[in-house]
Each structure stands twice: as C-alpha cells, then as structure tokens.
Structure 1
Amino acid sequence: MKLYKSLIAALALSASMVSCSDWLEQEPPSYLTPDTYFSDVTQVQAAVDWFYTVMITHGNWSYGTYGNDNETDNQTDWSPDGKYGTGLWLTSTTNDNWSWTNIRNINYQLRTIIEKRDAGTITGDQNKLNNFIGDLYFLRSYCYFDMLQKWGDLPILWQALPDDEAELVAASKRMPRNEVARFIVNSLDSALTLMQPQGTYATTRITPDAVNLFKSRVALYEGTFLKYFAGTPFVPNGPGWPGAAKDYNANYQYPTGSVEAESNYFLDIAAKSAKEVADKYMGSLRVNTGKIPQSATDPENPYFSIWGNNNMSGIKEVLLWREYNRSLGVVNDIEVVTQKGNYGIGLTRGFVENFLMADGKPIYNSAYKYSDQTIADVATNRDPRLAIFLKVPGQVNVFKNVGEGDHEVDVEPKPYLAARGDAENGYPTGYALRKGGMFDGAEADNGSCTNACEVFRATEALLNYMEAQYLLTNNLGDILPYWKAVRTAAGFTGAAADPQTTIDATDMNQENSDWGAYSAGTKLGDKVLYNIRRERRCELMAEGLRWMDLQRWRALDQLITTHAHIEGMHLYNTPMEGWYYEDKDGDGYGDGVGVGNFTLLNDGSTSAVVSSPELTHSEYVRPHEWNMVQNDFKDGLTWHMAHYLQPMPIRQFLLTASDHASVELSPLYQNPYWPTESDLPAEK
C-alpha cells in the first residue's frame, strides 16, 4: 500500500477520510451526481451556509467567544498553557491543528460551483450566486488566516488536489508567510468583487463591510509581525530563516524589496481597508452610559446590550453575527456562565488595573484614588467599560423571568475561589465579567441560552486604522478623530474623552504588567503607540483577539528573563479576606460560597484551594500558585522564542519525503527553534 494514500490525504479530496454525516467533505453521493448537483442557486447557498461554521462563535458548555482571551494577560483559568512553561510543549508525530480539511473542501466547492456557473448550468439569481461564491472566498481566507497565525509559512492551495503523491508532495512546499498573507488579501479582494452592495443581505451573512474589516485585520497582523520580527528567523530572509535551506525558497526576494517595505505594504492595506469601514460607522457607534440595568424599569445601556441580547440585527456597528434558536437546537450556555464564574475564566489583576480611571488617566496618576480593597472599589470611578462589565457582589443578575431558569444566580455572590472547585461555579481570580449577560432567568436553563454572537464589530476598524496609520505616519493628528470616537462611545466625557489626556499622564516606567507594553523584550518608548495598544486591549475586552495581538507585537520576549505571576483580586489584608472566614449561616464554610478557612486551605499543598501570601509573597490571589508542591508554574510564567509558532508535526516530514523515512528529504521545513524529532522541547 502506498504510504501517501493514508498519510498525506490531508491535502487531497478523499471521501474515505470523512464522516458519513459530513456530506460537504466528500463528493456528492451517487444519487446526486456532479452533473445534477449545484443545479440551482438554493443548493449553492445550502453548501455555503455549512461553511459558516468554520468561523469562531459561541459553543456550548463554555463562556463562548467571551472566553477566547484565556491564557493571556487578560484572562486566565487555573492551569496555564504549556507554552508558558519550560519543557512542557513538545514536538509530536501529529498535530491536529495541521488540518487542511476546511480549506480543501472550500476549494472543491469553489471549483465545482465556478465551473458550473461559467457553463451556465446553475439556475436562479446570478447576483446571489456570485455573492455565495464571494462567501466562499472569504471563508477560505478566514481558515487560512487561522493557519497563518499558527504556522507562519504555508503551502498555498488554490484548488482541491487529486489523490496523487507527486502532486501532493509538490503542493506541500511552504511559501513565505507574507506571500500567504498576500494570497489571503487577494482572496478577500475576489470576495469583494463578487458581493452585492452593503445592505443587500442581513448581517447574519457576510457583507462587504465585514470583508473589509477582516482584510484590515489580516493586513495589520502581517504588517506588524514583519515589523517586530524583522531580523529573526520568523520572517523570510531573516538570519536563520529555515525556508532558505530549501531550493524553492533559497533565492526568495520580497516583492517590495525589503522586509521593512513589505511591512509598510500591509500596513497601508490595513489602514485603507479599515478606514473604509471606520468612516461609515464612527458617527453612529452606540454610547456606554456607564450603568448596568438592575431592574426592569432601569433604562437600557445601548453599549452593554450590544452583547447582552439574542438579536443583533438592529445594531448597526455589528457587521456579522450568529443567531441561536432553541427550537432548532442551536444554543449556548452564555447566560448560565455569565451569572456564575465565566466557566472558570477570570480577569487578571494586570488587565483590571490597565483600565483608566474615569478622568482618562492611569490609576497611578489620577485625581481619583484607586482602591482594590473590595471589588466594588475596583469598579468605582473607572473606565466606564470596566464599570459595567466587571461583576460586583450584590449586583442583580436576574430581573427578567425570575425563577424560570434551572441555573439562575439571581444576585452576584462573593466569588468562589476554590481552585479545586468545578469550572462552572469557580472564580479563578475573583474577577468575573458580565459581558453577554441578559439578566434573563428564562435564558439560564442549562445549555439552552440563545445569546447572539458578535463575529465582527465596526469599532475594530477604528482601532485597526489608528494603529496602522500611526505606524505609517507617526502622526497623532491623522487618527485623533477616530480615537475620540472610540473614547466617546466607551462612555468617557470631557477631557477624559481626549486621548491626549491619557498620553500626557502615562509613565512607561509604571506600565509593567501589560505585556502589550513590550515588543522584542523592550519597553515601548512611544507613549502614543502604547496607548493605542491599551485602548485596543480595553475596547476589545473578551472578544478573542488578545493572543493575536501579543503574538504579532512580539510581546512575550520579556518573560524569558522576567517571569510573570498572574494575579487576581486583592484578597489578604482587605475586607474581602473576612468573606471567607466568617460562617454566619453555620454551614461550615465562610460566606464566600464555600471556600472555607484559609488557615487550613492555603498552605501550598495539593489540598490547598487558594494561594498563600507567605509562599507567593503577594496579598493577591494567584490562580496558578495555590499548589506549590506539584506545580510547573510556581515560579511564574516564562517564554521561549520557538513558542510564537507551533511545531510542524513530524509525520508530515516523513509523508512527503521521497523515501518516507528521512526528514531532510521532505520539501517541508520546521519552524524556528523546533527540532525535527518527536517528543522534544523547543531549542530556544
């Protein structure tokens, strides 16, 4: 048996590789032959709609997209990712993330549909047909961008490939990452040429504005990655770039002439495509009142309800969203999770303290005195976004349909900190979000919530433009109107809405806990650029973009020499400590929902439930350091350069080698600082 038939079919269209239920992952069944399949536009739409599932949206039994910043300096659970340790992330024979299934299947559908369209054999509205083809170009770009972030250099596949070893091996050649990004951008341009004008379709479908926003995201990512990783093996022609060892990349030259020019090429695309969207929406962004409703008679906060609803069709700035429907069984668990501890994902102290005070100044340089003696203090006189999204004990969680949900938590309790508690109820840091909350008991039936999922939001376009344009021009004046629009929508007023207020009050020597304050291991010296990053961090809170930003900014090098200790709320020597000692109801636990007596449970043993101030030398909760016996992270989080990208699976080298045994004979190459043998850690 030929090895490639079972091992490199990841690049081939092979019906034997898929589940019988996933009909889109195989050629049409015998009773629906290619001659008759896709004979009508409605069939094309049905196929395209299935691929919408590749986009990141809420799943069940989780905090949905609101928890996707987990494992960063914004959000954390009790167990750090192995990438922040030493010797915990190893090469392996396989890696499920090296999966081409979606790209392959989209390519197959594109080829088939375009051939039939050009032959005139698909009946129905041809404008709709072209729009659906545009959807496929976008969705392929979406999948490719996910792969680009994981791997960097990639094969560029324009079409599905036959199950032929020679063709598959040739197609496995990794193209330089900037060429992959150019391919993605070009595919998005193809989508734009085919799509009907904005407003033709509901925003539950991909629209030109969503495409342009995503285009700006991709271009900003690649432009900044090239900028901050220049002079390293992570970019083409950098010293030690592994692609240079392969003949097909040995003489590679940037289309623009240099890595600096290539970076600016992408930044220019990012700025222009972002501006196209930003200019349309910056005057109509929903404004945060700074207050959360606590009863049915309280006025709605338009900004809060961007996420706290089950229908986003009337929210102009939401460019693409997913609808959930209980009768169809398309549901999530957001309301239950929001009323509890965010499914074991908490905000970090560093993130909470990075938000400004209400006067637009950092906590260390404000007329308001910052206090973290209680969670209510933390939310007082703060950035209006933090004020509405940080849950505070005693706040009302449910005032609609009270009593109709089997998992209601009507009033926000004192946080349940126990590290050995179940994820559904636990608060790893003590700080939890109510982003996505609907205050609705009927939505708190376990696993039956219909909270709508925002996929793209116009405000990101303003932030993308601000960063890209500033990097290109170093001119604050170009971006100030956009920045003020973001600030005003966030709820700042007066001088606080002026970014210059923040810039003037910023002391970079005190900005140490924000990983985004660094690039290439060095603290940023430009306070404007830093505060653009801060604004992005706070405005896109819990929207799943933080890891992408940290990666492209090269914002983790400093952890190589200075470990990070992730912290949560200020527990010890504050009134909150008493929450867990007192036992007013006589149930044997403190009033902090069962955490118990810390004198017994914070000794650093495997039985401990919370970190010890004596062992960690900190009065703040350290969710990774409650167990100081069997703990790879008791000395904090560190970093290794290799971890910016994933290691290529060793199996792929063997599959594509001419003798199926020698790694060096493969057209593939390993990512920087990763070995080409299994079960080995990063080399640097």
Structure 2
Amino acid sequence: MKAINKIIILGMVTTLFSSCDLTLLPENAVTPENYFQNKSDLELWTNQFYTLLDEPDASAGTNADDMIDKGMGQVIEGTRSAASETGWSWSKLRHINYFLQHSSNCDDETARSQYNGVAQFFRAYFYFVKVRRYGDVPWYDQVLGSEDQELLAKARDSREFVMDRVLKDFEDAATSLPTKSTDTRNTRVTKWAALAFASQAALYEGTYRKYHGLDNYEKYLEIAASTARQFIDESGFSLYKEGTEPYRDMFCADNAKTTEVVLARAYNFEGLQLSHSVQFSIANLQMGFTRRFMNHYLMADGTRFTDKQGYETMFYTDEVKNRDPRLQQTVLCPNYIQKGETTVTANDLTAYCGYRPIKFVGTKDHDGAAKSTSDWPLMRAAEVYLNYAEAKAELGTLKQEDLDISINKIRERAKMPDLNLTDANSNPDPYLAACYPNVEQGTNKGVILEIRRERTIELVMEGLRQWDLFRWKEGKQMFNHYVPYYGIYVPGVGTYDMDGDGKPDLEIYETTATSQCDNKKKLDKDIYLSNGTSGYIIGFPKVTYGKDWKEERDYLWPIPADQRVLTQGILTQNPGWEDGLSY
C-alpha cells in the first residue's frame, strides 16, 4: 500500500480524531511521491481548507443581547453538554499538516511559499476557533500515525502556548501570501487577510485575558494593535462609500465590494449553483433586534438617544427619526422599500421584539430558502479599524489620531460626527455603562464604551456579538433572566401607522378588533406587552433563559466525554462541566 493510503487509513481509524471525513485516494493515482509536484497540485489541495470558514447560515443560532429568533442556539438555551459536544474534530488540521509536510516536493519555490502561507493561515484560523471554544487544546504541527500513541493522547496545551503559535502562523502567512487575491471577488486569502484575522484573534485573546483575569493580556493587545495598524497603513483597503446607502448596499451585493471586503465567500446560483438562506432565515426565523440594541444608535447629530427625555416610552415611528443613518439601512423603518420594489413595506411586527432586520436583504427573488446569492463578507476593513481602536483603548495608549484613522472613518462613511476622545472620557454614557458593567472606572472608560457602541452597530448580524460578550465577560447580558428581551414600546391598544403614509395599518386589541386594518394583533395571543395592555413587546414571554448560567463554567464549551474516555482522563475537563467521569 502506498504511503498516503496508509497515513489516511490510520487517520480514519484513530478514534481520537473523531468525525474524520478523509476520503481514500486510489493507490495508483495520488501518493506523496507523485503529488505536490507543481503549483496546480498545491492549489487543488489547499482549496479544501476554505471550508473551515464560516458559512452565512451558520450565523443563525448565535444570538446574544442584540438579536433573537426562533432558534436561540445552544448557549442561550443552555443545552451544551459533554455528552453531545460535536466541535472536537481534527480532520481538517490533519489535511493542513499533511500538506505542510509534503509541499517541499514542489520545486517551484514561489508557489511553495504561497501555498504554505495558505496552509499556515488556515492552521492559525483552525486553532483560534478551537481556543475560542475550549480554551486549552493540544497543539499539533505534524501528521500523526497509529504509532504516535503518546501524541494522540497528549494533554491539552495552554491557551497561551497555542495562541502564540496561532499568531506566529498568521505572521508567517502574511509574509508568504500575495498582496492581491487571485480572483476579483477576494475569495482567496492574502497578506492583508492574514493581518486582519491576526488582529481579530489577538484582540480576542487580549481582551479575554484582561476581563477574565489572566496574565499577559497586554502582549496580545499590542499584537492586535500593530497588525491592525499595518493593515490600515499599507493594505490599500478602505470603506465602501458609493451610492446613497453604501452600508446597506454592501450586504446584499452579488459581487463583494472589494474596496472594503478583505475576504469573501462567493455565491452564484446560475453559474456555480451555490446559494445561501440568510434572507429567508430573517423572515422564517422571525429574527428581530432588541430595544437594547436599538438604543445603541446615536442621534444624527451625535448626541445620545438615551439622554432624550421620554426615550424609554417613545413609539417606533418616532424613535427611528433623526438617528444614525445606519439604523435606516439595518432595520425596517417607516418608508422602507425593498430592493427592486417601488412600494413601501410596512412593519407587521412578525419579527421577535418588532424590529425586523433589512441588513443582507436584497430583492424578492432572494426571499426563498437557498435563494440568496449575495457574496458573504468574512472580513471587512471596518472590523480591522474597530480592532485597532479597541486594542489601543484597552491598552491605555489610545490617542485622538488613532480614532481619526479608525472609528472616525467609520462614522464619516455613516455621515455621523467624529468621536472625540476627551469628550467621551469626560462624560461616559450611563446607558452603555449599564450594558457593559465590567468596564471599570478609568481614564478610558468612556471611549471604550463608545468603541463598543460602534462595534455593536457596525458589525451586527456578522456572527461576532456572542463572541464579543464572551471575551468581555458580559455573558449575563445575553439572557432574559438578567436582561429582558424587550422590543418596540406600545402605548396601548389602538391603531398605528407603521409605514409612514398617514393611515393606520396595524391594530392592537384586547378582545375584539374594530378597525379595517389589514394587520391585527391580539394581546396575550399574537403579542405580549410588558405591562399587560401597554409596554414593551416581549420577545419570549413564556420562556426564561439563563437561570443556570455559571460564570465560572459557561464561557467555554465542555470537552467531549468520549474523547476524555479515549485518553483515560489525560484530556482534562473544563471547569464546572460535569461528564460523569471519575478523572
């Protein structure tokens, strides 16, 4: 049997690496001796690594405090367990290390360097995701065989040990990768993607360590700041600003806006037969923003909405007026017209909490399941700007010029006034301070809160919010046991004009509807209000999440029990998780 067959078969039967999906290769077709010989071989092998990146539909079920829907996900529902945990899969790492072990077969040094960079990028990404989920994990940079029993059953390496290697892999990848994607839609990793993701990983680790009381957080924040700054200074990426609604247009574009999108996943139903269901899920899962999220938006003049008298009881049609323009490009507001249509779509309150997203919503052709063909942005320049500002603020080294090359560029695109460092720190927002109670008093408290405001608004629905709350140690903010899932404020029963045409189109009633409105909602059946016949729409009136949340346990996932059995307890369990094992 040829060497590659032996290695792959051993990988399939090695039970430590569960859920392997390796395919046996024909003995007379591909072996280490006759493959990896040229650029084409290297490209074909490394193409499979891109499946590691998040798919659009995976963002469903990662709710937090900003958005809820029918399927809240394991974290919110409290259904994670060591018996059912399925994220402990290592097959893709094996593919990566196998490539790095054999790419030297290729005599084309330029091609070898480039595709080694691809492999290093994805090994870094693979391990960052693992650390984010489990904390300490075993580090492997070699292909294992059945004879490597000690390595197969090795103990977990510390998260610091692993994250240092993650960042080294990103650094090496940035050195080896080209500065431009090999396609026009930025679907291939580049030097700038490596730096951008390095800033994401380093910021996560730095802030996680800071807010969870671990050592050496400054080291990672400094790397986050330096890699983001290099990206800002050298990459040539900028914020997309074309048209009257650039923010909205960027998220329903069939071709990624590569001015800003650093790395994208491409979709094209006609040619590639590839599509996703994000637009369908928004409606079908009744995705809805919370009032807590809506209150993050400033007024258009830069003043705080939550400083306005009576903001708590302001009705939907009034609260959305004269706000940060991104609100109208993210949330269905009065006068909203869907792409490709000519008539206004009224808010029918079918979304949980009443605030329906329009981010990622294109034409009606994309409404059905697996009908969306917009490219999915995996990394944007805006996130790198936010990473830079946050890292500098958390380090205590932020200056006004840092804000001017990061946060204020984002605000400029949104047509919002600049953020002033002195003003932010001299008058921290009490509403945001209540949203993020773990931000301690200090010289940078105000600006840290404002950077979190910008991050919350700018990156909503992009799969980062739950992870942000994890690294900030604000997990309790995700659960209605601690913070109610409140939505639109309704003054009482009666009729309401939801589309801004001056005519009522919604009736909320107690027992019998009396109007001619097409949309009618019965109290305590179709809609629940916090004060009975008035108050905030309640997202989950009969379900309470978070009663069993444990601060010392729930920021990490459990190590699967079956993997602990296989190693006879050498793989230790994360604190607080019970798996019924005696070791």
Asked if structure 2 preserves the Cα contact closer than 8 Å seen for 1:342 and 1:433, the reply is no
- Offset of residue 40 of structure 1: 3.1
- The change in CA–CA distance for 1:284 and 1:189 in structure 2 (over 3 A counts) is closer
Q: Is 1:154 paired with 2:137? A: yes
- Number of the residue aligned with 2:566: 655
- Offset of residue 557 of structure 1: 5.5
How far, CA to CA, are the matches of 1:560 and 1:573 in structure 2? Answer: 26
1:75 is matched with which residue: 67, 76, 80?
Answer: 67
2:123 is matched with which residue: 140, 143, 159?
Answer: 140
How far, CA to CA, are the matches of 2:357 and 2:430 in structure 1? Answer: 29
- Offset of residue 609 of structure 1: 3.9
1:675 is matched with which residue: 573, 578, 583?
Answer: 578
- Offset of residue 640 of structure 1: 3.6
How far, CA to CA, are the matches of 1:637 and 1:478 in structure 2? Answer: 44
- Number of the residue aligned with 2:296: 354
- Offset of residue 587 of structure 1: 11
- The change in CA–CA distance for 1:283 and 1:677 in structure 2 (over 3 A counts) is closer
Find the residue that maps to 2:537 and give its secondary structure.
coil
**Letter of the aligned partner of 1:187 in structure 2?**
D
- Offset of residue 54 of structure 1: 1.2
- Number of the residue aligned with 2:415: 491
- Number of the residue aligned with 2:455: 536
* 1:196-232 CA-partner distances (Å, limit 9, x unpaired): 23466542211111110100111111111111111xx
1:569-584 map, 5 Å:
569-573=488-492, 576=496, 581=507
- Number of the residue aligned with 1:556: 475
1:88-487 map, 5 Å:
88-89=78-79, 91-112=81-102, 114-117=103-106, 120=107, 126-164=109-147, 166-170=149-153, 172-198=154-180, 202=184, 203-230=186-213, 235=214, 259=215, 262-280=216-234, 284-287=238-241, 300-312=244-256, 315-327=258-270, 328-337=272-281, 341=283, 343-365=285-307, 370=311, 373-399=314-340, 411-417=344-350, 427-438=351-362, 440-444=363-367, 446-482=369-405, 483-487=407-411
Find the residue that maps to 2:255 and give its secondary structure.
coil
How far, CA to CA, are the matches of 1:377 and 1:638 in structure 2? Answer: 36
Asked if structure 1 preserves the Cα contact closer than 8 Å seen for 2:389 and 2:451, the reply is yes
TM-score (norm 1): 0.73
**Letter of the aligned partner of 2:49 in structure 1?**
F
Find the residue that maps to 2:262 and give its secondary structure.
strand
How far, CA to CA, are the matches of 2:300 and 2:80 in structure 1? Answer: 45
* 1:469-490 CA-partner distances (Å, limit 9, x unpaired): 2222344335231222221122
- Number of the residue aligned with 1:511: 432
- The change in CA–CA distance for 1:90 and 1:370 in structure 2 (over 3 A counts) is closer
- The change in CA–CA distance for 1:336 and 1:96 in structure 2 (over 3 A counts) is closer
- The change in CA–CA distance for 1:353 and 1:561 in structure 2 (over 3 A counts) is closer
How far, CA to CA, are the matches of 1:373 and 1:590 in structure 2? Answer: 25
Find the residue that maps to 1:484 and give its secondary structure.
helix
- Number of the residue aligned with 1:620: 536
User: CA-atom RMSD, angstroms?
Assistant: 3.5
Asked if structure 2 preserves the Cα contact closer than 8 Å seen for 1:134 and 1:190, the reply is yes
- The change in CA–CA distance for 1:284 and 1:654 in structure 2 (over 3 A counts) is closer
- Offset of residue 540 of structure 1: 1.4
How far, CA to CA, are the matches of 2:228 and 2:11 in structure 1? Answer: 43
- Offset of residue 588 of structure 1: 11
- Offset of residue 358 of structure 1: 0.9
How far, CA to CA, are the matches of 1:624 and 1:636 in structure 2? Answer: 14
Asked if structure 1 preserves the Cα contact closer than 8 Å seen for 2:487 and 2:538, the reply is yes
Asked if structure 1 preserves the Cα contact closer than 8 Å seen for 2:276 and 2:370, the reply is yes
Find the residue that maps to 1:455 and give its secondary structure.
strand
**Letter of the aligned partner of 1:48 in structure 2?**
T
- The change in CA–CA distance for 1:398 and 1:511 in structure 2 (over 3 A counts) is closer
- Offset of residue 285 of structure 1: 2.1
- Relative to structure 2, which stretch is displaced further, 218-227 or 372-381? 372-381
Asked if structure 2 preserves the Cα contact closer than 8 Å seen for 1:580 and 1:592, the reply is yes
- Offset of residue 183 of structure 1: 1.1
* 1:324-377 CA-partner distances (Å, limit 9, x unpaired): 111321012344456xx37322111100011111111211335x9858644332
- The change in CA–CA distance for 1:127 and 1:77 in structure 2 (over 3 A counts) is same
In structure 2, the gaps of 5 or more residues are 1-9, 498-503
- The change in CA–CA distance for 1:394 and 1:678 in structure 2 (over 3 A counts) is farther
* 1:623-665 CA-partner distances (Å, limit 9, x unpaired): 111x3xxx444x97955431011111222221111xxxxxxxx
Find the residue that maps to 1:581 and give its secondary structure.
strand
- Number of the residue aligned with 1:252: none
* 1:419-456 CA-partner distances (Å, limit 9, x unpaired): xxxxxxxx112111111223x34444542221111111
Find the residue that maps to 1:456 and give its secondary structure.
strand
- Offset of residue 104 of structure 1: 2.1
- Offset of residue 458 of structure 1: 0.9
**Letter of the aligned partner of 1:479 in structure 2?**
D
Asked if structure 2 preserves the Cα contact closer than 8 Å seen for 1:278 and 1:459, the reply is no
- Offset of residue 84 of structure 1: 4.6
1:9 is matched with which residue: 14, 24, 27?
Answer: 14
Find the residue that maps to 1:190 and give its secondary structure.
helix
- The change in CA–CA distance for 1:643 and 1:375 in structure 2 (over 3 A counts) is same
Asked if structure 1 preserves the Cα contact closer than 8 Å seen for 2:137 and 2:162, the reply is yes
**Letter of the aligned partner of 1:611 in structure 2?**
Y
Asked if structure 1 preserves the Cα contact closer than 8 Å seen for 2:135 and 2:556, the reply is yes
Asked if structure 2 preserves the Cα contact closer than 8 Å seen for 1:282 and 1:459, the reply is no
Asked if structure 2 preserves the Cα contact closer than 8 Å seen for 1:216 and 1:270, the reply is yes
How far, CA to CA, are the matches of 1:486 and 1:145 in structure 2? Answer: 27
- Number of the residue aligned with 1:662: none
- Offset of residue 596 of structure 1: 3.9
**Letter of the aligned partner of 2:577 in structure 1?**
W
**Letter of the aligned partner of 2:449 in structure 1?**
Y
How far, CA to CA, are the matches of 1:509 and 1:568 in structure 2? Answer: 20
**Letter of the aligned partner of 1:437 in structure 2?**
V
- Offset of residue 592 of structure 1: 6.6
Find the residue that maps to 2:263 and give its secondary structure.
strand
How far, CA to CA, are the matches of 1:523 and 1:89 in structure 2? Answer: 35
How far, CA to CA, are the matches of 1:592 and 1:621 in structure 2? Answer: 20
- The change in CA–CA distance for 1:168 and 1:382 in structure 2 (over 3 A counts) is same
* 1:131-190 CA-partner distances (Å, limit 9, x unpaired): 2221111112112111111100010010221124623444x3111111111111111122
Find the residue that maps to 1:364 and give its secondary structure.
helix
- The change in CA–CA distance for 1:283 and 1:175 in structure 2 (over 3 A counts) is closer
1:611 is matched with which residue: 504, 525, 528?
Answer: 528
How far, CA to CA, are the matches of 1:533 and 1:228 in structure 2? Answer: 15
Asked if structure 1 preserves the Cα contact closer than 8 Å seen for 2:69 and 2:286, the reply is yes
Asked if structure 2 preserves the Cα contact closer than 8 Å seen for 1:391 and 1:432, the reply is yes
- Number of the residue aligned with 1:597: 522
**Letter of the aligned partner of 1:376 in structure 2?**
T
